[in-house]
Amino acid sequence: MLGKNELALYGGSPVIGGPLEDYQPLDHTDNLAVELVMKSGILSDFIGASGKKFLGGARVREFEKSFANEFNVKHAISVNSLTSGLWCAIGSLNLEPGDEVITSTWTMAATATTILHWNLIPVFADIDPDTFNLDIADVENKIGKRTRAIVSPDIFGQSADIESLLLLCNKYNLYLVSDSAQAPGSRRNGYLTGTKSHIGGFSFNYHKHIHTGEGGMIVTDDDRLADRVRLLRNHGEVVIGSSPALSNETGILGMNMRLGEIESAIGVNQLRKLDSAIRSRREGAEYLESLISTLPDLSAPVVSNGNSHVYYVFGMKLNLKSLGVSRNTLVRALTAEGVPGLFEGYQNIHKLPLYSRHLTHKKSNFPYSLLTKRRRNELLSLQLPIAEVLHNETFFGINWCSKAFHKKDVELVAEAFHKVWDNIDSLLSGPKP
Ligand SMILES: *Cc1c(COP(=O)(O)O)cnc(C)c1O
pLDDT digits (tens, 9 = 90+) for 350-372: 999 999 999 999 999 999 999 99
Beta-strand ranges (E) seen in 322-371 are: 342-344
- Helix (H) or strand (E) segment spanning residue 314: strand 313-318
Q: pLDDT by residue (tens digit) across 55-91? A: 999 999 999 999 999 999 999 999 999 999 999 999 9
Contact 199, 220 (CB under 8 A): yes
For residue 165, pLDDT over 90 is answered with yes
* pLDDT per residue as tens digits for the range 284-319: 999 999 999 999 999 999 999 999 999 999 999 999
Q: Which residues contact residue 8 at a Cβ distance below 8 angstroms, ignoring those fewer than 6 apart?
A: 14, 15, 333, 336, 337, 338
Q: Is 261 in the pocket of ligand 1 (CB under 6 A)?
A: no
Q: Are 331 and 7 in contact, with CB atoms under 8 Å apart? A: no
b/e code 166-189 from CB counts within 10 Å (16+ = b): bebbeeeebbbbbbbbbbbbbbbe
Summarize the confidence of residues 181-200 as an average pLDDT.
Answer: 98
Ligand 1 touching residue 179 (CB < 6 A): yes
User: Ligand 1 pocket test: which of 156, 205, 209, 270 has the largest number of ligand atoms within 8 Å of its C-beta?
Assistant: 205
Look at residue 433 in the predicted model and tell me its pLDDT.
65
| 200 and 194 Cβ atoms separated by less than 8 Å | yes
Confirm or reject: Cβ of 83 under 6 Å from ligand 1.
Answer: yes
Q: With a 6 A CB cut-off, is 181 part of the ligand 1 pocket?
A: yes
Q: Would the pLDDT of 225 be above 50? A: yes
Q: How far does the centroid of ligand 1 lie from the alpha carbon of residue 17, in Å?
A: 32
Kindly report each contact of residues 27-36 with a partner whose C-beta sits within 8 Å and lies 24 or more positions away, as own/partner: 29/269, 30/266, 30/269, 30/270, 33/265, 33/266, 33/268, 33/269, 34/262, 34/265, 34/266, 36/265
Query: Is the per-residue pLDDT at 422 higher than 80?
Result: yes
Give the model's pLDDT for residue 1.
47
| Pocket lining: 147 vs ligand 1, CB cutoff 6 Å | no
Strand residue runs (E) in 214-259: 216-220
Q: What percent of the chain has pLDDT over 90?
A: 94
Statement: residue 334 has pLDDT above 90:
yes
Which of 88, 106, 108 maximizes ligand 1 atoms within 8 Å of its Cβ, making it the mutation to test the pocket? 108
User: What pLDDT score does 327 carry?
Assistant: 97
Predicted pLDDT of residue 246: 79
Q: Is the CB of 182 under 6 A from ligand 1?
A: yes
pLDDT attached to residue 115: 98
Coil, helix or strand at residue 291: helix
Q: Is 256 exposed, middle or buried (0-12, 13-18, 19+ CB in 10 A)?
A: exposed
* Pocket perturbation via mutation, ligand 1, pick of 80, 87, 158, 182 by most ligand atoms within 8 A of CB: 182
379-390 tens-digit pLDDT: 999 999 999 999
Query: Which atom of ligand 1 is nearest to 312's Cα?
Result: 15
pLDDT at 245: 77
Alpha carbon distance 38, 260 (integer Å) = 12
Task: For the chain, give the mean pLDDT.
Answer: 96
336-131-219 Cα angle (round to 5): 110
Supply the pTM of this predicted model: 0.97
Q: 403, 313, 404: which is closest to 106 by C-alpha?
A: 313
Whole-number Å distance between alpha carbons of 370 and 367: 6
- Minimal-distance CA residue to ligand 1 atom 5: 82
Q: Are 10 and 332 in contact (CB under 8 A)?
A: no
Q: Is residue 165 within 6 Å of ligand 1 at its C-beta?
A: no
Q: What would the mean pLDDT of 87-97 be, rounded to a whole number?
A: 98
3 pLDDT higher than 80? no
List, for residues 11-44, the tens digit of each pLDDT value: 999 999 999 999 999 999 999 999 999 999 999 9
Given the CA of residue 204, which atom of ligand 1 is nearest to it? Answer: 7
Name the phi and psi angles at 301, rounded to 5: -55, 140
**Is 113 close to ligand 1, i.e. is its CB under 6 Å away?**
no
Question: In the predicted model, is pLDDT for residue 244 greater than 50?
Answer: yes
